[in-house]
Amino acid sequence: MAEQKLFEYIKSMENFKKYVKLLLDHYQILDGYWFAYIEKEYGLETAVKINEEIWGKIATRTAKDIKSMFKIDGKGIERVMNALKYFPWYTITSYQVSREGDALIIQIPKCVPQEIRAKKGMGEYPCKEMHRRILENFVREIDNSTEVKCVFAPPDEHPKDTYCKWVLRSK
């Protein structure tokens, strides 16, 4: 019954967009609260390890769901780029995606979790391995002929205007 009321409410495109935004915002909020609690209770190192494991699995599952729900055109880099558009973190983290020759470049200029940590004086958390697992697992599921390389990501030194930079290429 509640589901029926929800579908009645989101019939208009405006309400549908608001609802999707709400879900994406809460997806990120849940992730933030979850990580903060684990870090507080068990320490940063344990929180980072658990986060890496969970997000690696989520990326694989999400890629499988995207493939089953949407028609993903192309091969190699093109296919990955088309699939990324449906990946929730693509929207949440405002990935900047560009093509440079045979490579797909992903940059993250604004990282809300890192910015919140900075405001609280907590310093950056080492997210490089987590993002590696997310991207490698997602890419492997979408098109396993594509490899992922990290140029930089925390804990690496990085420019002030970009937290992470990744390069995807066909093998």
Q: What is the pTM of this model?
A: 0.89
Domains of the chain: 2-170 (3.30.1380)
Using the structure block, give the residue that is written with the tokens 């599952």. 61
How many H helices and E strands in the chain?
A: 7, 4
Task: Put the strands of the sheet holding 96-100 in their side by side order.
Answer: 96-100, 103-108, 164-170, 146-152
Using the structure block, give the residue that is written with the tokens 């490089």. 128
pLDDT tens digits for range 22-73: 999 999 999 999 999 999 999 999 999 999 999 999 999 999 999 999 999 9
pLDDT tens digits for range 77-125: 999 999 999 999 888 887 899 999 999 999 999 998 999 999 999 999 9
Query: What's the pLDDT at 1?
Result: 53
Residue 124: C-alpha distances to residues 48, 101, 155 (Å): 12, 32, 7
112's tokens: 């809300």
* Contact (Cβ atoms closer than 8 angstroms) between residue 65 and residue 142: no
